[in-house]
Chain A
Amino acid sequence: MSLKTNPLNDAQLSALSQLVEGLNKEQTVWLNGYFEGRLAALGGVDVPAVTGTTVSTAAAAPPPQSSIKLTILYGTETGHSQGLAEKLGEKASFKGIDARVLSLYDYNYKKLNEEDNVAIIVSTHGEGDPPDMAEDFYKYVTGPRAPQLNGVNYSVLALGDKTYKHFCKTGEEIDVALKSCGAYRVTPAVKCDVDYEQPSETWMNLFLLNLSPAETPEPVVTSAPTAPASSSAGGFGEEFSKSNPYMATVLEKVRITGDDSDKEVYHVELSLEGSGLEYEPGDSLGIFTKNPEALVGDILAFTGFDAEQKVDVGEEEMSIKEALSHHLEITMLTFDLLKKYQEKTKNAELAKLLVDDEALDEYLYGHDVLDLLEDFPYDWNAHKLVEVLRPIPPRLYSISSSMESVGEEVHVTVSVVRYERKNRKRNGACSSHLADSIEIDEQIPVYIDKNPSFKLPANGSKIIMVGAGTGVAPYRAFMQHRESLGIKGESWLFFGDRRFNSDFLYQTEWQKLLKNEILTKIDVAFSRDQEEKVYVQHKLKEQQKEVFDWLENGAHFYLCGDMKYMAKDVNKALLDIIQTQGGVREEQAEKYVKNLKREKRFQIDVY
């Protein structure tokens, strides 16, 4: 018996055990009602008016619908918590409470602060771990991003097994966490051993009895002990923009490509709390960055500049090292830079390069300022070089979240650029900085870059979303948006990457969206899982009849990702589809596409 957590003395406990032993269901229901009646008569707790005052009504007809809302959440591995949650749901409905039962996996915990009443039934596993499905919720309420929950009533039923060291740890921790978030603990948490039937029954009855209507929330007893210091007041009234970037705190940074991937893709979540910054799905986030230290060092070494030598960048005076690190673009080349470089150096070879389109394209791709200095030598001094170089621009990333879903946060999906050329490791300025140097809780300067030409249709029109690699980012935002606002409308994702096992970006989210019918269809192409390379354009063509059908029925077509190859190939595939399915010639197909663009039904975000 694990009734030890109850306030009964030994004699009462033994009498109770004796009493309940061998009771049948009917007898138990009767006794249940009897105790509810007694409890009401004792007046020890707030009893909602709807609860019967006599035994017979308490256990008989359901009372009229009250305005009490209850969300019952469960986290389970063996199904016990789910069973109990459903039982509580039934009991609550019987009392006229508007109850819904959800797994912690299906529950959007960011909406926890909007709840009136919450019951949480959760088990503990292994070394005090939460069940898989409760892990995110658990992290959220016990972690640094724990929400303010004033006005939320709750109670926790913890399941466990006393033969383990960390008996009911998860339930206990959630209970404590919710309390410190300011939520009101309606009834004390109950911890159950493997024989959970009786204690859980007692907990349910007591909890339901104590629920009060939402209009009169219980006064909050506790004060939130760990209110985050970064209050929104600091930025009040201040407008953040590209010229006045907001220092956003990194809330989460996780590599989302698996172990065996040869790509490094990070999912980064940033706080916009109190910034007043707003964005819509399709917009981009601008991030200011610094250059890789190794490259700065190499340039200084190659040129022989004194790192501390002062130079002027714009109006400001600073050391050349500081200028190369934080103010000037050195990881990428532009046509403009090459032209200026040539004008200064009068280098004949570079002049030739500038008029050879193909060679120029090739040179611009994958070379940096150190290559330029090496390949076209010139006796530079620091001042002159600074004049040639352009200021380091912020990097833009398609936003992968919707404010409707994540509130004052912004998520981006960053593919880290790293490659080797001429025996030198090259790193993308921003992506490698984010990957290697920025940790959770640190801050980076950001702003919102609006993109009005990559937007969801205002209504629930059909959408076809085509993306490869991180090109899938805005579609995550699209889906979050539609889900949060309850916008119905068919949607179809074509996603491509290298390997199913490790490169299926946001895989579990797509699966969930499909299950919940927010996403209607998905086709995937993984180029390296089989002998022949398969890409998104192949999948589009495989499905061409239906793709064309969707277009004919007003679908919006989105294309996001790599400009160099994918965009071209998808464009070509789309033209082919229109020709084949529409039975038209190439010019007419081109016209069809043009028309789609004019109607804003073909939107592109490539880079």
Chain B
Amino acid sequence: MSESINWLELSEVEKLKYDSNYLRGTLPESLADPITGAISDGDTQISKFHGIYQQWNRDVDKERKRQKLEPAFSFLIRLRMPGGKFTPKQWLAMDELSDKYANGTLKLTTRQTFQLHGVLKRNLKATIKEMNDQLMDTIAACGDVNRNVMSHANPAQSPFHAEVIETAKKISAHLLPKTSAYHEIWLEKKLVADSKEEVEPLYGNRYLPRKFKIGIVIPPHNDCDVFSQDLGFIAIIENEKIVGYNVAVGGGLGTTFGKPETYPRTGTVIGFCTPDQIVDVAEKVVAVQRDNGNRKDRKQARLKYTIDRMGVEEFVAELTKYLGYELEPERAYTLERNGDDFGWIKGSDKKWHLTYFVEGGRVLDRGEFKLKTALREIAKVIDGDIILTGNQNLIISGVSTKVKTQVDALLKTYGVSPEDISGLRKNSIACVALPTCPLAFAEAERYLPDLVSKIETILNEYQLGKEEIVIRMTGCPNGCGRPYLAEIGLIGKSPGYYNLYLGGSFNGSRLNTLYKQTINEEEILNELCPIIADFAANRKDGERFGDFVIRKNYVEEIKEGKNFKH
């Protein structure tokens, strides 16, 4: 790559990445600065590549400002764990770390991994070291690189689970940044003879223009929302084996209010590859994006914009050049739902698997509801694993019949037996939002449970309590909770006010459409009430809520991301 770069026309982050000496930045100096609990502005960008986000407690922002204290800075640490499968020992380590260095809770993310919140700067190194001791790392959990690779989560649903999770791990390892910065900074390992050249053969010294996300699903399950990924793989099973994967490119959800040129987009299926091509395909799609993505405007930098700018055909042509072969034509598949199926299932492995609903993905003890304790005790006794799903839930996986009984008893003891929860709540996702996420305009995780209760009251009036409806809320339009694919999507605009989107499909293949702008709780309920009444009275047999609102013209179907409006 030519080094004569016109920095003026590029986004500031490009220069930061370039100057960071392969993701070192000034992190050692920032960590040593005793005057602030923050790291330098530039380092807040670089730290993301290490899985670390600087945040602060926004609840006390105003108060601390008046107190002449800096914001209550702390850090979010996100793990990288392709496929989300953790050993009980690793679970226990995370449980302990959350008490020792974080805010005492674990957040299960929408990308099948853990987040710790509230880690102070002075405890960052110790936390990461202790994770490393349990063979866990946070490399590339954020930043302009390939992030945590998701895969179908439930071994009980498919005998191919083990194979796809291995594939996810392979892709993750292949696309991992090669710099030793992480080991030097956090684990204090000395740099071994550095030959500067080819530190990052795939990424180069400016990495990708923007984040990059990959997920693999096994139809009919779409539990990691394959169309939301920059690169999605859909396993194709013929004659009892995975013969290959359909390749979907250009999914991506983040948008920005007030910038109509930003929009969510569902991935486009461009062909089929064999299992031994999948890593190569992943690498080459990343490479095409590396060389063609927009580096001037970060709000136009995701692969979805690259593809819409180039046109799908030209993109495929370019990809073919990089690959040196053509992808086969896509094969038939059917996806049924993007949520999780809860409860115990006996797998083809003869073992038991419990998919367990975790509201908002937050593992904590609250009064009599002692989820964190229960899971800790369960982790101590199980003979299987704990797998995180892409919907903020978890699976206690691969246990014997005897242990199954123990698990049930422990859940009961700690007051967290799977309740008879409504179809709406089961399918709810909320991002973290306030008080720690700096991007949030409104509440999400702390508020959605209450709102769901209020919508449940309406649903119950029409005997729809069991009806499964996907509802997702985020505090901002960046899309972490994938609200654009929900049947009912709520995106925060300002405290107490949300945009209401309707008409996503139950299987996650269609974007929803803006229905009402900037409305409060009362207005949300008033808007939903007549639609639910209509749905109860006039739905066709088996018709989903998201499909109904489109058939009845409550909203117009969005066929292409470009047509999406806020």
Chain A residues engaging chain B, CB cutoff 8 angstroms: 125-127, 132, 135, 161, 163-165, 194, 254-259, 267, 500-502, 504-511, 514, 522-524, 529
**When the two chains form their complex, are residues A256 and B35 in contact, meaning their CB atoms are under 8 A apart?**
no
Give the chain A neighbours of B36 by CB distance below 8 A.
511
- Complex interface: chain B residues within 8 A of A259 (CB): 60, 63
Identify the stretch in B68-76, B79-87, B371-379 within 8 Å (CB) of chain A at 4 or more residues: B68-76
Prevailing SS type, chain A contact patch: mixed
**CB atoms of A255 and B37 under 8 A apart:** no
A507 touches B68 (CB 8 A): yes
Whether B67 and A257, one on each chain, are in contact in the complex, defined by CB atoms closer than 8 angstroms, is yes
Can you report 12 A-B residue pairs in the complex whose CB atoms are below 8 A from each other?
A: A127-B496, A132-B65, A161-B258, A163-B517, A257-B67, A258-B72, A267-B68, A501-B120, A502-B69, A508-B70, A514-B35, A523-B34
Whether A254 touches B35, Cβ cut-off 8 Å, given contacts A127-B495, A529-B122, is no
User: In chain A, what residue has the closest Cβ to B258?
Assistant: A194
A126 adjacent to B441 (CB under 8 Å): yes
The reply to whether B493 and A508 contact each other, CB–CB distance below 8 Å, is no
Question: Which chain A positions have C-beta within 8 A of B497?
Answer: 164-165
Cα distance A441–B258 in the bound complex, in angstroms: 43
CB distance from A405 to the nearest CB of B (A): 15
B495 A508 Cβ-Cβ under 8 A: no
Chain B contacts of A508 at CB under 8 A? Answer: 65, 68-70
Residue from B37, B61, B64, B494 within 8 A of A500 (CB atoms): B37
Instruction: Give Cα A501–Cα B120 distance, bound, in whole angstroms.
Output: 9
Question: Once bound together, how far apart are the Cα atoms of A161 and B64, in whole Å?
Answer: 27
Which residue of B67, B494, B496, B517 is within 8 Å of A254 (Cβ)?
Answer: B67
Chain B 41-78 against A: per-residue CB contact (8 Å), 1 yes, 0 no? 00000000000000000001111111111101000000
Are B518 and A258 in contact, CB atoms less than 8 angstroms apart? no
- List, in ascending order, chain B residues with CB within 8 A of A500's CB: 34, 37, 122
Chain A: minimal CB distance from B145 (Å):
25
Q: A126-B495, A258-B69 are in contact. Are A511 and B60 (CB under 8 A)?
A: no
Q: Is the CB of A256 within 8 A of B441?
A: no
Q: Give the chain A neighbours of B34 by CB distance below 8 A.
A: 500, 523-524
Residue B554 at the A interface, CB < 8 A? Answer: no
- Asked if A258 and B495 make an inter-chain contact with CB atoms under 8 angstroms apart, the answer reads no
- Of A126, A164, A507, the contact of B69 (CB 8 Å cutoff): A507
**Residue B462 interfacial (CB < 8 Å):** no
The 5 closest A-B pairs by CB, nearest first: A194-B258, A256-B67, A126-B494, A506-B68, A507-B69
Contact B70 A507 (CB under 8 A): yes
Chain B neighbourhood of A522, CB < 8 A: 35
Give every chain A residue within 8 A of B18 (Cβ-Cβ). Answer: none
Q: Is B333 an interface residue (CB 8 A)?
A: no
Instruction: Report B-chain residues with C-beta under 8 Å of the C-beta of A126.
Output: 441, 494-495
Chain A residues with Cβ below 8 Å from B66 are 254
- The listed residue (A127, A135, A502) touching B65 by CB distance below 8 A is A135
Known A-B contacts A132-B65, A163-B518, A164-B493; the reply to A501 vs B37 at CB < 8 A is yes
Residues of B within 8 A of A255 (CB): 67
C-alpha spacing A125/B493, complex, angstroms: 10
Q: List the B residue with the shortest CB-CB distance to A194.
A: B258
* A163-B493 in contact (CB<8A): yes
Give chain A residues whose Cβ lies under 8 Å from the Cβ of B35: 507, 510-511, 514, 522, 524
Inside 8 A of A163's CB, which chain B residues have their CB?
A: 257, 493, 517-518
Query: In the complex the two chains form, is B68's CB within 8 Å of A161's CB?
Result: no
11 other A-B residue contacts (CB within 8 Å) besides A256-B68, A507-B69: A125-B494, A126-B494, A126-B495, A127-B495, A163-B257, A164-B518, A255-B67, A258-B67, A259-B60, A506-B68, A507-B35
Tell me the complex Cα distance, A522–B122, Å.
Answer: 18
Cα–Cα, bound, A504→B120 (Å): 15
Chain B residue at minimum C-beta to C-beta distance from A495: B35
B493 lies within 8 A of A258 (CB): no
- CB neighbours of A507 from chain B (8 A): 35, 68-70
B-chain residues with CB within 8 Å of residue A506 when the two chains form the complex: 68
What's the least CB distance linking A517 to chain B, in Å? 14
CA distance A583 to B258 in the complex (A): 68
Bound-state Cα–Cα, A125 to B440, Å: 12
Known contacts A126-B441, A194-B258: A256-B69 contact under CB 8 Å: yes
Q: Tell me how far the C-beta of B27 lies from the nearest C-beta in chain A, rounded to whole angstroms.
A: 19
In the bound complex, what is the Cα–Cα distance between A504 and B38 (angstroms)? Answer: 14
Q: How far does the alpha carbon of A524 sit from the alpha carbon of B37 in the complex, in Å?
A: 13
Q: Tell me the complex Cα distance, A501–B72, Å.
A: 7
Q: What CA separation (Å) do A164 and B35 show in the bound complex?
A: 37
- A31→B122 CA distance, assembly (Å): 57
Task: Report chain A residues within 8 Å CB of B122.
Answer: 500, 529
Q: In the bound complex, do residue B494 and residue A509 qualify as a contact, i.e. CB atoms below 8 Å apart?
A: no
Which A residues touch B69, using CB under 8 A?
Answer: 256, 258, 502, 504, 507-508
Taking the nearest CB of chain B, how far is it from the CB of A289, in angstroms? 24
Interface residues of B in 470-514 (CB under 8 A from A): 493-497
Closest CB-CB distance, B435 to chain A, in whole Å? 13
Nearest chain B residue, comparing its CB with the CB of A510: B35
Find residues 153-193 in chain B having any chain A CB closer than 8 Å to their own CB: none
Q: Are B64 and A165 in contact, with the CB atoms below 8 A? A: no
List of B residues within 8 angstroms of A256 by Cβ: 67-69
- Given A258-B69, A508-B68, A509-B68, the answer on whether A164 and B494 have CB atoms closer than 8 Å is yes
Kindly report which residue of chain B lies nearest to residue A255, judged by CB atoms: B67
> Would you list which residues of chain B between 1 and 51 have a CB under 8 Å from chain A?
34-37
CA distance A116 to B509 in the complex (A): 61
With A127-B495, A511-B36, A522-B35 as contacts: A165 and B518 at CB distance below 8 Å: yes
A residues less than 8 Å from B68 (CB atoms) = 256, 267, 505-509
Q: Are A511 and B518 in contact (CB under 8 A)?
A: no
Known: A163-B518, A194-B258. A127 touches B70 (CB 8 A): no
B36: min CB distance to chain A, Å: 6
With CB as the reference atom, state the residue of chain B lying closest to A136: B65
CB distance from A514 to the nearest CB of B (A): 7
Most chain A Cβ neighbours within 10 Å, of B36, B61, B494: B494
Q: Nearest chain A CB to B77's CB is how many angstroms away?
A: 18
Count chain A CB atoms within 10 A of each CB in B34, B37, B497 and give the residue with the most: B34
- The CA of A127 and the CA of B492, in the complex, are separated in Å by 13
Q: Which residue of chain B is the closest to A256 with respect to CB atoms?
A: B67
What is the minimal beta-carbon distance from A503 to any residue of chain B, in angstroms? 9
Picked from B65, B70, B441, B493, the residue with its CB within 8 Å of the CB of A511 is B70
User: Closest approach, in angstroms, between the C-beta of A520 and any C-beta of chain B?
Assistant: 13
Give the distance in Å from the alpha carbon of A506 to the alpha carbon of B65 in the complex: 10
A135 to B64, CA, bound (A): 13
Residues of A within 8 Å of B496, CB to CB, are: 127
The CA-CA distance from A511 to B38 in the complex, in Å, is 12
In whole angstroms, what is the CA distance A164 to B566 when docked? 13
Contact with A along B532-552 (1 / 0, CB 8 A): 000000000000000000000
Per the 8 Å Cβ criterion, residues 363-413 of B in contact with A are none
**Once the chains are docked, how many angstroms separate the CA of A506 from the CA of B518?**
39
Q: For residue B34, which residue of chain A has the nearest CB?
A: A524
Chain B residues contacting A125 (CB-CB under 8 Å) are: 494
* Distance between Cα atoms of A487 and B61 in the complex (Å): 33
CB neighbours (8 Å) of B258 from chain A are 161, 194
CA distance A574 to B440 in the complex (A): 50
| Distance in Å: Cβ of B557 to nearest Cβ of chain A | 24
A14 to chain B, nearest CB (A): 21
User: Residues of B contacting A502 with CB < 8 Å?
Assistant: 69
Report how far A161 CA is from B497 CA in the complex, Å: 14
A533 CA to B64 CA, complexed, in Å: 26
State A257–B67 Cα separation when bound (angstroms): 7
Q: Which residues of B contact A511 (CB under 8 A)?
A: 35-36, 70
Q: How far is the CA of A259 from the CA of B61 in the complex (A)?
A: 12
Alpha-carbon distance A21/B34, docked complex (angstroms): 53
A interface footprint on B253-279 (CB within 8 Å = 1, 0 otherwise): 000011000000000000000000000
